């Protein structure tokens, strides 16, 4: 689990990203294509062509971190615009990392009434 502070903004880089890129390549993509500062403390999330791999870069004030997650089954749900960036909340990112539809999460468990 990524220790995301509550005040951190999360940005999805919509479209397809070359997943061969490392930390420096993704930070350069944030600067040039997304027109954002990769050292501002925000999380930037990228998805590959196949949809089962995401990479996240984050500068926490001390240094840059690169996180990657691959789903063994299924694909990460992604926003539909072809290019650009979409802001989501840290809770929506947590849903996404668990393979849940972050756009419309639904509670599937309903506890029975006591008594």
Q: What is the DSSP string of 62-90?
A: S-EEEEEEE-SSS-------SSSEEEE-H
pTM over the 0.85 mark: no
Three-class SS of residue 101? coil
55-104 tens-digit pLDDT: 999 998 899 999 999 988 888 888 776 667 888 888 888 888 887 777 77
- The full set of domain ranges for the chain reads 10-97
Summary mean pLDDT of the chain:
85
């Amino acid at each position: 689990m990524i220790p995301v502070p509550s005040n951190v903004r999360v940005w999805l880089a919509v479209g397809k990203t070359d997943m061969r890129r490392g930390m420096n390549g993704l930070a350069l993509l944030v600067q040039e294509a997304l027109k954002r500062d990769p050292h501002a403390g925000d999380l930037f999330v990228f998805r590959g062509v196949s949809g089962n791999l995401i990479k996240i870069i984050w500068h926490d004030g001390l240094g840059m971190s690169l996180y990657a997650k691959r789903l063994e089954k299924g694909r990460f749900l992604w926003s539909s615009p072809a290019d650009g960036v979409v802001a989501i909340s840290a809770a929506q990112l947590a849903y996404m990392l668990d393979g849940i539809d972050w756009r419309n999460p639904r509670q599937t468990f309903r506890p029975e009434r006591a008594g």
